[in-house]
Structure 1
Amino acid sequence: MADHSMTTPPKEHAQQTKERIKGVFSSQVLTKIGTGTTMRKSIQKSYFFAQELDDGNIEVQPLNINYVPSGPKQVLSKDEFLDKFSPEPEFYTVTVMPKMRELEKTIARGDRHRKRGETFSAEMEYGNAVRVDEENVRANFGLGLTYLERGATDKAQDIFERLVKLEAAYESEHKHLFNEFGINLRKSKMIDQALDYYARALELSENDENLYYNIARVQFDRKDFPKTVEMLTKALEINPEMPEANKFIDFLKSKGLAQS
């Protein structure tokens, strides 16, 4: 065993935190075109935005034709990532980073307009964002909420159908948005859509008392009182202290709609 007694002065303490991987990387795939004597090989280069996660794995997302990250994300081990991808630092700093920042600014302007009740200006900004990245979660939620707030239910239906298919819409970072969207669907009398939407959310987050509570509100609007009680019971199984669910149950009991 090595001797750990110090016979020389300690060296300066090295910085423990090294910079995480973040930027644009390319991946090359060899494809074969044609058959027999006409067959030729072609190298196809694709670009991805990559960032290192807390656990050391790397999350990669393809760039779309507008040079912003869009579409499904994939998580790779660092070894696999470094084996398959090559850094493109100049492309990231000169092209992709400015595009990403501009997209964020556009969405932020849309958010500000929507909070002020300036729905047409909000719609324009969110629409510009969606044209750059049609799968951007914040832009789609913002656009959908703007349509609901001004009663444009046909347009809201299109956004609803897009959001239901986007798994990223139900990630924890977007939780306040998907809750707000579901509540607005219900308030806009889009009851069936609200139920479909919450059912999709439950597939991805089944231990969320707020989801069960929100479904209970929808079932109450449908006058399906047994289902309302069932959803509230599930919410209280997860969080027995949830005040809204307890008040709702007490209200139903006072009206004879739930067993005392």
Structure 2
Amino acid sequence: MSDQQSHSQGEAKPERGKVEGVGRDKIKGVFSTQTVEKVGTGTTQRKAIQKTYWFCEEGKEDLIQVQPLNKNYVPSGPSRAVAKEEFLGKFNPEPEFYVQTVYPKMRELENTIKRGEDHREAGRVYSAELEFKEATTVDEENVRANFGLGLTYLDRGDAVKANDIFERLVNLEAAFDQEHKHLFNDFGINLRKNKMLEQALEYYHRAERLEGHDENLFHNIARVYYELGDLEHCVEYLKRSLQLNPGMEEGKLFMEYLKKNGYVTVLPDGTEKIDPNPDGIVGSGKGKGDGKPIDVDGGAKF
């Protein structure tokens, strides 16, 4: 966040922790940067110092991840990497501000999200909704809070509100980070199960552009295409999934189902024939087996 008021915090060191295998402290805490801006015109013009606060944490290869604080004093929005040498020259530690204000706010937000997740897991969807809404009020772009709120709406079958959350999440790159993959997977599967198939497909393809190669992601894209009746793309993505992981049990079951019910036929020359309507009944959406769609989702990665 930015303001015109400076904080006199002394020269205490920011929170630090040991860098594994190196034996030195790593950077973590709240820091500030300052810019000088001209205010007014003519004889009334003066210079004002604009201070911006950041939550900063040292990562790998001497890069510092910096994320701005929002008006509620919690890290929010996209982070960026700053080279350590540049960071040390431009960023000033604000240890007291971190300890007295920012850290308690971060803990409070974390506890609110955790209560929401506990409520949702126990089936208390309205209590979960209240907690997640409170969390998104503090940090509108918080990934866990948005996922939690979206999943809660999907649990309730509220497609309209779930779609609002989908629109928000699909534009948040942080939603597709490694640390959020299990949440991402749950949300995509629940979109599909709530028959929000186009949204689920857009969601998964957004992940595909960022992730590139993941057998569980490809498997779940195949599931959506299957339910949309697009067997060619279904088989394409299922094969891509099994190429990455030939031993994936869910993928093998899915392919066996498609072959058993006549959607995929192996010809004498070894080629495969794809038939989206093996019974010859246009629009039936059923195979010539028991007619029950397979219900096997990909693993927790996606």
The verdict on a shared fold, with TM-score over 0.5 as the criterion, is yes
Aligned to 2:217: 211
Partner of 1:63: 69
Corresponding residue for 1:133? 139
Q: 1:149-200, CA deviations, whole angstroms, 9 ceiling, x for partnerless residues?
A: 0111111111000000100000000000000000000000101100010011
Which digits, 9 at most, give the CA deviation of each residue in 1:197-227, with x for residues without a partner? Answer: 0011111101111111001111111111111
* CA shift digits 1:64-120 (9 cap, x unpaired): 000000001010111111111000000000000000000000000001000000000
- Is 1:152 the counterpart of 2:139 in the alignment? no
Per-residue CA distance 1:1-44 (angstroms, 9 max, x = gap)? xxxxxxxxxxxxxx951221110000001223455555433221
Partner of residue 283, structure 2: none
Across the aligned residues of Structure 1 and Structure 2, the Cα RMSD in angstroms comes to 1.4
Where do 4+ consecutive residues of structure 1 move more than 3 Å? Answer: 33-40
Q: Which has the higher contact order (CA 8 A, sep 6+)?
A: 2
Match of 1:110 among 100, 104, 116: 116
What's the counterpart of residue 81 of structure 1? 87
Matched ranges for 1:91-110 at <5 A: 91-110=97-116
Matched, 1:223 2:251: no
Decide which of 41, 48, 53 is 1:42's aligned counterpart: 48
CA distance in 2, matches of 1:237, 1:248: 14
1:245 aligns with: 251
- The correspondence for 1:232, drawn from 233, 238, 255, is 238
1:7 corresponding residue in structure 2: none
Secondary structure, in 3 states, of the residue corresponding to 1:21?
A: strand
1:19 aligns with 2:25: yes
Determine helix, strand or coil for the equivalent of 2:54.
strand
* 1:179 counterpart = 2:185: yes
Q: Percent identity?
A: 59
Corresponding residue for residue 196 of structure 2: 190
Rounded Cα–Cα distance in structure 1 between residues aligned with 2:81 and 2:22: 24
The residue type equivalent to 1:183 in the other structure is I
Contact 1:144 / 1:156 at 8 angstroms: preserved in 2?
A: yes
DSSP 3-state at the match of 1:20: strand
SS at match of 2:71: coil
Residues in 1 aligned to 2:158 and 2:129: alpha-carbon distance in whole angstroms: 11
AA at the equivalent of 2:98: Y
User: Is the CA contact 1:226–1:258 (under 8 Å) kept in the aligned structure 2?
Assistant: no
TM-score computed with the length of structure 2 as normaliser: 0.79
The one-letter amino acid of 1:163's match is L
As a proportion of its length, which structure holds more helix?
A: 1
Q: How many residues align?
A: 246
